[in-house]
Amino acid sequence: MKPYDAKESQECKICGFIISHNKQGWFTSHLKNEHGLTLESYLIAHFYEPEDLNCSYELCDGTVGLNRGKPKKYCSTSCSSKGEPLVCVLCGTKFDTSTRPHRSTKTCSDSCASKLRSMKAAAWHK
């Protein structure tokens, strides 16, 4: 992905209008006057590929917004503060506190949790 750069030549992907740069905001004005779009909504709809706008947090399929024409890393502050997802000790599935509210949980689901409990119980009885 090549991030948007206001200093480079701008080509409107809607009508083919070309301008040498957007430093004074002329390209932004073109979008607004000709197409009724803000630069940001134009970039999201026409400049970036959908995968460029995926949230960087592994377990999130949200779409990020832009910051000065460049995609943000995360779709929300909750995604940026989550850190690495947790990994289920039983099946290896990644999960986080949005599905398992307790950070100390070691398993991805109730079924893994109960399997883990019965394994521990079995080991105890040996």
Residues that bind Zn ion in the complex, under the rule CB under 5 A: 12, 14-15, 17, 34, 55, 57, 60, 62, 75, 79, 88, 90-91, 93, 108, 112
- For every residue of 65-113, DSSP letters joined together read -EETTEE-S-SSHHHHTS-SPEE-TTT--EE-TTTS--TT--SSSHHHH
In the bound state with Zn ion, the residue whose beta carbon lies nearer, of 3 and 65, is 65
| Residue 49 or 110 having the CB closest to Zn ion | 110
Output the smallest distance, CB 75 to Zn ion, in A. Answer: 4
Task: Tell me the one-letter amino acid at 66.
Answer: L
Nearer Cβ to Zn ion (3/114):
114
